[in-house]
């Protein structure tokens, strides 16, 4: 079963015709539970694909569905994390990762009635990514790698069916990056959500993903798709 379906999507910034043609006739599908990676050179439209799938921009042509729902704006079943964790500096880590619960229904109503249950869930989530006990710290008291771990918790706390990742490890040093590869792979195996990871790092893509899509630039489209089915070493 396909979880993400992108079919013949064209997006031009600044309107059809005169603007910048970022992606043209882009078609790709990701199966339920799959870890997909999209790679390509800078400017090929990876971030645009991310914005389209999360409903932040709307295509001029084509259709995008997630779990059968037409994407016309942000969907509650989609979690996202970007290169910059952008945690709110005035909120403690625990309050930061609980943010989606305050916004996404049906959690928002339940959170008001049963806060303790959700605090426990958030603490368990921090534990899972190796941040047990760090909930009371402010984001600026965490290292870059720890902030990105918290960022992943925030993207997953409302248990979305789809996790969209845009260069989430790009700003980290090589050692921390590979540590985080282990974290995301463990999360994916435990929680069984679908992932689309956008990256310019082919090594990262092949290491993490079950399926890799390669995009070409100007205009962006998928030129190659490969299922990765060889054994990979565990981190």
Residues that bind ligand ADP (CB under 6 A): 13-14, 20, 22, 40, 42-48, 167
Residue 52 CB, nearest approach to ligand ADP (Å): 9
Token duo for residue 64: 């995008």
The CA distance from 85 to 82, in Å, is 6
What residues contact 111, with CB distance under 8 A and at least 6 apart? 98, 101, 102, 118
Cβ proximity of 213 and 28 under 8 Å = yes
What residues contact 113, with CB distance under 8 A and at least 6 apart? none
> 43 or 132, CB closer to ligand ADP?
43
> 30 or 122, CB closer to ligand ADP?
30
The CA distance from 17 to 128, in Å, is 48
> 44 or 101, CB closer to ligand ADP?
44
End-to-end CA distance of the chain: 29
Q: Which of 111, 189, 85, 234 is closest to 120 using CA atoms?
A: 111
Residue 202 CB, nearest approach to ligand ADP (Å): 14
Residue 173 CB, nearest approach to ligand ADP (Å): 18
Question: Does residue 219 have a cis bond before it (omega within 30 degrees)?
Answer: yes
The CA distance from 116 to 95, in Å, is 13
Residue 159 CB, nearest approach to ligand ADP (Å): 27
> 97 or 197, CB closer to ligand ADP?
197
Residue 168 CB, nearest approach to ligand ADP (Å): 11
Residue 55 CB, nearest approach to ligand ADP (Å): 15
> 9 or 122, CB closer to ligand ADP?
9
Helix locations, 13-143, DSSP H: 46-53, 93-97, 99-103, 107-113, 115-128
> 22 or 163, CB closer to ligand ADP?
22
């Amino acid at each position: 079963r396909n979880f993400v379906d992108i079919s013949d999507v064209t997006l031009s910034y600044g309107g059809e015709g005169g603007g910048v043609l970022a992606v043209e006739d882009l078609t790709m599908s990701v199966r339920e539970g799959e870890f997909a990676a999209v790679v390509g050179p800078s400017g090929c439209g990876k971030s645009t694909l991310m914005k389209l799938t999360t409903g932040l921009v709307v295509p001029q042509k084509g259709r995008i569905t997630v779990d059968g729902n037409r994407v016309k704006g942000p969907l509650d079943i989609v979690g996202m994390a970007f290169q910059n964790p952008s945690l709110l500096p005035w909120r403690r880590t625990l309050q930061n990762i609980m943010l989606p619960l305050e916004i996404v229904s049906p959690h928002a109503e339940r959170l008001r009635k049963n806060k303790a249950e959700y605090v426990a869930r958030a603490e368990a989530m921090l534990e899972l990514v190796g941040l047990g006990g760090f909930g009371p710290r402010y984001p600026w008291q965490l290292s870059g790698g720890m902030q990105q771990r918290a960022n992943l918790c925030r993207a997953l706390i409302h248990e979305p069916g789809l996790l969209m990742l845009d260069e989430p490890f790009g700003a980290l040093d090589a050692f921390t990056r590979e540590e985080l590869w282990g974290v995301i792979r463990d999360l994916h195996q435990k929680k069984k959500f679908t992932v689309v990871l956008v990256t310019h790092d082919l090594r990262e893509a092949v290491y993490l993903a079950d399926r890799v899509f390669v995009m070409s630039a100007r205009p962006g489209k998928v030129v190659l798709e490969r299922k990765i089915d060889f054994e990979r070493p565990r981190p």
